[in-house]
Amino acid sequence: MHLIIATVILMDYEELGLKIGLEIHQQLNTDEKLFCPCPCELTDKKPDYKVLRNLRPTQSELGKIDRAAFEESRRKLQFIYEAYKDETCLVELDEEPPHPLNREALKLSLIIASLLNMNVVDEFHTMRKQVIDGSNTGGFQRTGLVATAGYMDTEYGRVSIENLCLEEDAARRIGQKKGKVVFRLDRLGIPLVEITTDPSMKHPQQVKEVAYQIGQVLRSTKVKRGLGTIRQDLNISIRDGARVELKGVQDLDLMPNMVENEVKRQINLVGIMKELQSRNANVVDEIYDVGELLKDTESKIISKAILEGGSVLAIKLEGFSGLIGREVQPGRRFGTELAGYAKKMGVSGLFHTDELPAYGVTQQEVDAVSKFLKLDENDAFILVADEGEKARNALLEVLRRAKTAIKEVPEETRKATDDANSEYLRPLPTASRMYVETDIPTAKISRAYLKRIQENLPELPDEKQARIIQEYSLSEDLAHQLVRRNRAAEFEEIMGSSGLDSTTVASTMAYTLKELKRDGKAISKLTVDCLKETFNLVEEGKITKEAVQEVLVGVCDGKSSPEDAARDLNLIMLSEEEVESVIEGIISSNSEMIEERGMGAMGALMGKAMAKLKGKADGKLVNKLLRNKLQNK
Amino acid sequence: MSYRGASKQFLDSQNVSIGDKIRITKKDVFYEGMVLDRAEDADDEHVVLKMASGYNMGVNITDSRIELLEKGEKPEIELPPVDVERDNHKKDISIISTGGTVASIIDYKTGAVHPAFTADDLLRATPELLEHANVRGEAILNILSENMKPEYWVKTARSIADEINNGAYGVVVAHGTDTMHYTSAALSFIMDTPVPVVLTGAQRSSDRPSSDAFWNLMGSIAAAKSDVAEVTVCMHAEEDDPACYLHRGTKVRKMHTSRRDTFRSINTEPIARIQNGNLKLNKNMDYKKRDYKRREESEVVLHDDLESKVALVKSYPGISAEILDLYVDRGYRGIVIEGTGLGHCPDYLIPAVSRATDSGIPVVMASQCLYGKVNMNVYSTGRELLSAGVISALDMLPETAYVKLVWTLGQTDNNEEVKKIMQTNLKGEIESRSSKKFFLI
């Protein structure tokens, strides 16, 4: 425990040689997918049909099978793809070669690259990046390098943007069915940009800042918004550790914690490594069958495996005792790391001596296994109970990981978890995953075309906010909301043709629409033209400002135009004569009160009049008319 | 190296060749990477680099400086040799490779998929095959199947015969898919085989993880070990992976440009379905009637004389009679017309047809409908075509009719004999009965 507390307090990132890099994946909001004309929308519809496929690793361009690809293949997974007759086509199913590159997506990626001060390549080559976890039907993701060597200035200094790639999104993992992973093809092929910084960030807070700023740049262009449309990965290493990629960091606020926890993990793994080396630790390269020793066990997992004809297998780790239970991240032990590797082979977990006796395994059984394996007091064993080949493969993985633990911190791809920890996913891929996509012609990017794009770059969100505050005398809050909700352009368009005060228009755009959306109203009916018409009604004195929201609700609910809605909802303002006659009516039916109180009846009568005229007459006018009538009585 | 013009000069200036590591410096940026070859048809203004990240890119050489960083070797595709030990409990199956997608790999010259695999490479890529048979590989051709021609059918048939005579229990032929059904029909007529001869290929190149080559080969090995001693085509049955159909070589056709299940039996049903290496005969087959030819102990017999001067002409609205005249004038020995509907062509073509038949050139009528049987008795044009001496291809596919005419004219000069052979079912190419089951399956 001491070790952990000490590291938390003493973490000096510079001393540790912390290096952080950031990778952001952002879906583009194009009309079509990157290599086929299907829509870029996810669907919850029941799939029209399902297709069963296998993937096998192949030679890559350099004739080497990639390490990560090889490991995936050993799991021998089969995949089920959910497909649609209308929403997906043969391209996603790998039943048809890709169509030529989507030019809109390429253009968007050039805009983003330019906003990030990057150098755009002369000729774009589409590559195949081998991914044989089934998330791509072809067994590779199509991707290409768009730009390099850009930068972004932050309050922590300048950060280099290394690469920007345009690639296709992967299929959506839906679940697992009889050992086969099920993917849906709706997401496969949606264009993404992948933005990678160099690993020069040195402070956990800086990553968050950079992620935020890149997010701002992305939001100024035609990108998708909402959950799952942007994904962040972190690359983290310390000097004595190794490069680790944390995949799927959702929450920007969690990023600094994530970095801290990974640094802790690497420090603790280095600690364990040194301890193992000083103990002369050794991993015995053999898998023992200990089923006979545990045949009467009360452990449910073990007895179930035996009952189903599986095996109980063990390995011996010399000099590992006490270290397997050591914590490496809050709530996660070195044993959890080993289990992560075992789980990749399909077993549900493992038992290790540092946690036994437990889970129904008795001390006598531990002793029996220890005796059988000739365990020393410094030694540990690990047990896996499952179907024979699965258990063996799982332990082979654990052996590999345990051997590495004596030598170094392994380079890994890990999955970020919600508690800012991470779990093992696969080894870091090597460069040999890439080979050229032969079905797609290369795309030249002419400097003239690039120049046109760079002369018409969109305004960044911060710039836009500052400008509309100035130009329309908006409050900072309203301006911020308009920019954040991507309503600024519409706001400006409406202001161009409306004489109404900017605050009324802005607050309608920023807040009223949000409320209507929250209430489940069909706000897609509220086009810019429809909003313009509504504001015109206010300007022409046909409705009051207060009636705007009700009119908009009316339009959402199916009334054809704002004016129709106002009429149907009885919100059209009355003419002065009509108001006068209403007031006369009130006066005559309250003549007794007026006799008694004279001008003193003003307050009560005003109340009655407004109850009757609310939303149909301006309060000032009612007040004026009523006062006149009473005075002249 | 296919760099030329300016880009070649650019590379030569620093004595740079493919595989070298170089740096190209431009005004605002520099790139470091390994020089890759460029497609032969591309321009001469760009150099292709493979960056350390694995990405390729094209760098425009205008106003650029080149530096050689490190001499490299051109990356070669190397695989460890396969050590095949014969297992007496397993059957001996030969795989003959002719090129095409089932045996191909990325080529640096063009950056495209090329048929460059040897039969041994095929085994290295799919060592699992060795679990099911003693597999011997032999590459006899290295061509894309669109470049097939009748003389290669003969070469292939002779190689297959050699394998069978050397004791192969069955033979698998790896073939490009475009013209696989022509070759399967040709081999059907050329060979009387005592053992299975199975053609297979891939619709997704074998260099990719999702290739259908593996399951097609697995299915073919199972078919080659089976009792079906015919020339067959074994390819994916559906878009799904493990299942394949075994199609009769004379009644199968490529019906989709890209789908895995592109090969369909036409005017009949597949002989068998093969799933995970298990062959299941079509339950509609009548075994007693010997719907398929069974394995036997006889020698392989070849009838490999062919007449390659045969034309396959498609009829279409607006077709000119000159087309038929041209073939006659150029000394063609036979013509197959892929007619419309029940077997028609415009009536103004009939004089040209008569001219051909009068010159002793057999004219065979198949249908571009593919499904169904030619019947020229229904309409007057048909009847006139019959009187002009046109031979009905019955329910033969146009491609099969073409191949059969190529073969028949190699067997006999007698036109009466030609007509008789064309209309006699020799290798399952003619199905006398029609059935609802035979359409669009």
Cβ–Cβ gap B112/A438 under 8 Å: yes
Closest chain B residue to A148 measured between Cα atoms?
B29
Check residue A168 and give left, alpha or beta (phi > 0: left; psi -120 to 50: alpha).
beta
Q: Which of A78, A96, A431 sits opposite B54 (nearest CB)?
A: A431
- Work out the average pLDDT over A327-339: 88
* A17 domain-assigned: yes
Indicate the range of A355-369, A420-434, A475-489, B240-254 predicted with least confidence. A420-434
Helix (H) or strand (E) holding B246: strand B244-248
Is residue B80's pLDDT more than 60?
no
* A270 domain-assigned: no
Tell which wins on pLDDT, A605 or A40: A40
Residues in chain A, total: 633
Tell which wins on pLDDT, A556 or B342: B342
Partnered with residue A82 across adjacent β-strands are A50, A184
d(CA A612, CA A616): 9
B-chain residues within 8 Å CB-CB of A96?
A: 257-259
pLDDT at B102: 57
Indicate the range of A6-20, A269-283, B219-233 predicted with least confidence. A6-20
Closest CA to A246 of A26, A411, A13: A411
d(CA B243, CA B241): 6
* A344 domain-assigned: yes
Closest CA to A505 of A480, A477, A474: A474
Is residue A309's pLDDT more than 80?
yes
Token duo for residue A579? 């108001």
Q: How far is A332 from chain B (nearest CA, A)?
A: 33
Let me know whether A107 and A89 are in one domain: yes
pLDDT band for B77, please (50, 70, 90 cuts).
Answer: low
> Within 13 Å of residue B303, how many CA atoms lie on the same side as its CB?
17
pLDDT at A464: 85
Which three-class secondary structure state does DSSP give residue A348? coil
B-chain residues within 8 Å CB-CB of A121?
A: 57-59
B-chain residues within 8 Å CB-CB of A53?
A: 210, 240-241
Tell me whether B175 touches chain A (CB under 8 Å): no
Contact A291, A261 (CB under 8 A): no
Domain count, chain A: 4
Q: What is the ipTM of this complex?
A: 0.89
Q: What is chain B's alpha carbon radius of gyration, rounded to the nearest angstrom?
A: 26
Q: Average pLDDT of chain A?
A: 85
* A431 domain-assigned: no
Domain endpoint, select from A548, A568, A588? A568
Domain endpoint, select from A229, A246, A263? A229
B-chain residues within 8 Å CB-CB of A163?
A: 53, 55
A positions 8-47 inside 8 Å of B (CB): none
- Work out the average pLDDT over A394-423: 88
Check residue A189 and give left, alpha or beta (phi > 0: left; psi -120 to 50: alpha).
left
| pLDDT tens digits for range A558-593 | 767 887 787 777 777 777 788 888 888 888 888 788
Q: How far is A362 from chain B (nearest CA, A)?
A: 43
Whichever domain contains A615, its CATH number is 1.10.10
Which three-class secondary structure state does DSSP give residue B57? strand
* A254 domain-assigned: no
Quickly list H helices, A220-310.
255-278, 300-307
Q: How far is A441 from chain B (nearest CA, A)?
A: 10
Domains in chain B, please, with CATH? 5-70 (2.30.30.520), 92-302 (3.40.50.1170), 310-422 (3.40.50.40)
Token duo for residue B135? 């597999």
Residue A88 is which amino acid? Answer: T
pLDDT at A547: 79
d(CA A351, CA A382): 6
Q: How far is A559 from chain B (nearest CA, A)?
A: 48
DSSP string, A17-78: T-EEEEEEEEEB--SS-SSSS--S----SPPSEEEEEE------TTS---HHHHHHHHT--E
Task: Tally A–B CB contacts below 8 A.
Answer: 129
Let me know whether A293 and A408 are in one domain: yes
* A16 domain-assigned: yes
* Residue that has been written with the tokens 């075992």 in this structure: A342
Domain endpoint, select from A170, A199, A229? A229
Token duo for residue A384? 């896996």
B-chain residues within 8 Å CB-CB of A78?
A: 241
pLDDT band for B209, please (50, 70, 90 cuts).
Answer: confident
Tell me whether B194 touches chain A (CB under 8 Å): no
Catalytic residues of B, by residue number, are 101, 177-178, 254
Let me know whether A35 and A142 are in one domain: yes
- Work out the average pLDDT over A368-379: 87
Best mutation target, A164, A436, A447, A451, to test chain B (most B CBs within 10 A): A436
pLDDT at B265: 95
Let me know whether A118 and A173 are in one domain: yes
d(CA B299, CA B291): 21
Cβ–Cβ gap A139/B208 under 8 Å: yes
A-chain residues within 8 Å CB-CB of B48?
A: 125
Distance of CA A392 to CAs A304, A347, A401, Å? 17, 10, 14
* A463 domain-assigned: no
- Work out the average pLDDT over B70-86: 66
Tell which wins on pLDDT, A599 or B104: A599
Q: Average pLDDT of chain B?
A: 89
Check residue B437 and give left, alpha or beta (phi > 0: left; psi -120 to 50: alpha).
alpha
Cβ–Cβ gap A438/B106 under 8 Å: yes
Is residue B30's pLDDT more than 60?
yes
Cβ–Cβ gap B77/A59 under 8 Å: yes
Is residue A270's pLDDT more than 80?
yes
Closest chain B residue to A432 measured between Cα atoms?
B54
Closest chain B residue to A51 measured between Cα atoms?
B240
A-chain residues within 8 Å CB-CB of B31?
A: 148
* A607 domain-assigned: yes
A-chain residues within 8 Å CB-CB of B77?
A: 59, 63
Let me know whether A537 and A611 are in one domain: no
Tell me whether A68 touches chain B (CB under 8 Å): no
Tell me whether A163 touches chain B (CB under 8 Å): yes
Let me know whether A303 and A359 are in one domain: yes
| pLDDT tens digits for range B356-391 | 999 999 999 999 999 999 999 999 999 999 999 999
Closest chain A residue to B26 measured between Cα atoms?
A119
Tell me whether B54 touches chain A (CB under 8 Å): yes
pTM, rounded to two decimals: 0.79
Distance of CA B356 to CAs A602, B226, B350, Å? 113, 45, 10
- Work out the average pLDDT over B11-16: 87
Helix (H) or strand (E) holding B145: none
Q: What is the bridge-based pairing of β-strands B363-367 and B391-392?
A: parallel
Q: Which of A129, A431, A438 sits opposite B113 (nearest CB)?
A: A438
- Work out the average pLDDT over B150-178: 95
Tell which wins on pLDDT, A493 or A64: A493
Let me know whether A608 and A523 are in one domain: no
Let me know whether A540 and A594 are in one domain: no
Q: How far is B257 from chain A (nearest CA, A)?
A: 8
- Work out the average pLDDT over B238-248: 93
d(CA A261, CA A281): 26
Let me know whether A203 and A77 are in one domain: yes
Cβ–Cβ gap A94/B111 under 8 Å: no
Tell me whether A117 touches chain B (CB under 8 Å): no
Helix (H) or strand (E) holding B56: strand B56-60
User: What residues make up the domain containing A219?
Assistant: 2-229
% of chain A with per-residue pLDDT over 70: 94
Distance of CA B82 to CAs A66, A202, B124, B128, Å? 20, 50, 6, 12
Contact B439, B269 (CB under 8 A): no
Whichever domain contains A345, its CATH number is 3.30.1360.30
Let me know whether A72 and A213 are in one domain: yes
pLDDT band for A62, please (50, 70, 90 cuts).
Answer: very low
Cβ–Cβ gap A125/B58 under 8 Å: yes
Let me know whether A214 and A362 are in one domain: no
Cβ–Cβ gap A54/B57 under 8 Å: no
Most confident of A354-358, A496-500, B40-44: A354-358
Is residue A350's pLDDT more than 80?
yes
A positions 400-459 inside 8 Å of B (CB): 431-436, 438, 442, 444
C-alpha torsion sign, points A562, A565, A571, A574: positive
Let me know whether A32 and A159 are in one domain: yes
Which three-class secondary structure state does DSSP give residue B258? coil
d(CA B437, CA B430): 16
B positions 55-84 inside 8 Å of A (CB): 55-60, 75-79
Closest chain B residue to A93 measured between Cα atoms?
B239
